[in-house]
Amino acid sequence: MAVTGQILVLFIIIHMIGNSAIYSGGLNAYADRLHSLPLLVWIFRLVMLTMFSLHIVFGIGLYLENRKAKPDEYAIRKDMRATFASKNMVWTGLLTGVFLVYHLLHFTIQIIHPESAALSNSDASGLPDVSGMVVQSFQDAGVSAVYVFAVTALFLHLSHGIQSSFQSTGISSERTLPVIIKTGAITALVLFLGYVSIPVLIYIGLVKG
Ligand code: HEM
């Protein structure tokens, strides 16, 4: 669970850095460079799909194990250290998974808002207009709201998940635990701001692609 989660976080970091090319006007060139290496893209997709599937299978296993270990709720809950994020890992994970299906249909397969699809709209250099697709999409309040909601669920998932994964792999000790908790929370926050800024800045008109 921890290792698959850490690999997925690596993808989330790289994807955020790639997406930030929208601010410099380089998103179309970046996407075009990626798509010019189809074999690499497909190997990467297969690895990610495997990691994602394993993460879900292990997650469900862990959830069922935890339920079996304490079938009855305590009269007084002794979870003083539990946070909202740690208690809702299954739900924030599920929401992220559902969002991912929507996101792939939207920006990768491009069938949700076909009018702005990069596959059928080119920019001035003749490249598929990924940037135009993203900007047109986030000018819609409903689409932006979906992304803000999903990225918030992802933030909650990562704010507990990152630090918990380092505890599971045995890297943390009593001395390093507070540092790991803080680093996990800061990483989750930076990712949240990096992702949420795109729909928000586009929607309020500060980024036009
Ligand atoms: C504001 C937020 C986001 C934006 C603007 C964005 C943008 C994009 C775009 C433009 C693509 C298509 C790239 C292409 O095929 O040329 C894409 C694909 C993808 N995104 Fe995002 N994304 C966002 C958030 C996320 C999040 C939070 C996740 C994961 C939890 C994610 C996971 C993926 C995946 C797995 C793909 C498919 C990559 C592939 O084609 O193999 N994205 N995203």
pLDDT by residue (tens digit) across 133-185?
Answer: 999 999 999 999 999 999 999 999 999 999 999 888 877 778 888 999 999 99
Q: To the nearest whole percent, how much of the chain has pLDDT over 70?
A: 94
The closest alpha carbon to 107, from 14, 199, 193, belongs to 199
Q: What is the chain's pLDDT, residue by residue, as a tens digit (209 residues)?
A: 999 999 999 999 999 999 999 999 999 999 999 999 999 999 999 999 999 999 999 999 988 998 888 665 555 555 557 899 999 999 999 999 999 999 999 999 999 989 999 999 999 999 999 999 999 999 999 999 999 999 999 999 999 999 999 888 877 778 888 999 999 999 999 999 999 999 999 999 999 86
Q: What is the pLDDT of residue 145?
A: 98
Residue with tokens 């299954």: 90
Facing residues of 128 across strands?
A: 122
- What is the residue extent of each domain of the chain? 2-73+83-203
How far is it, in rounded angstroms, from Cα 41 to Cα 156?
29
Coil, strand or helix at 122: strand
Measured from CB, residues less than 6 Å from any atom of ligand 1 are 12, 15, 19, 31, 45, 96, 100, 103-104, 107-108, 130, 134, 147, 151, 154, 195, 198-199
Q: Tell me, what amino acid is at 90?
A: V
Q: Which residues of 128-165 are buried (b: 16+ CB within 10 A; e: fewer)?
A: bbbbbbbbbbbbeeebbebbbebbebbbbbbbbbbbbb
Calculate ∠ Cα 187-50-14, nearest 5°: 30
Question: Ligand 1, atom 7: nearest CA belongs to which residue?
Answer: 19
State the distance from the centre of ligand 1 to the C-alpha of 188, rounded, in angstroms.
Answer: 17
Q: Tell me, what amino acid is at 87?
A: K
Distances (CA, A) of 70 to 25, 44, 85, 175, 204: 53, 39, 20, 30, 47
State the distance from the centre of ligand 1 to the C-alpha of 147, rounded, in angstroms.
Answer: 11
Q: Is the dihedral of CA 99, 103, 183, 57 positive or negative?
A: positive
Determine the atom of ligand 1 nearest the C-alpha atom of 150.
27
For the chain, the distance separating the N- and C-terminal CA atoms, rounded to the nearest angstrom, is: 37
State the distance from the centre of ligand 1 to the C-alpha of 33, rounded, in angstroms.
Answer: 15
Task: List the structure tokens of 4.
Answer: 């698959």
Q: What is the pLDDT of residue 72?
A: 58
How far is it, in rounded angstroms, from Cα 55 to Cα 164?
14
Residue with tokens 């304490």: 70
The closest alpha carbon to 194, from 7, 19, 9, belongs to 19
Please state, rounded to an integer, the average pLDDT across all residues of the chain.
93
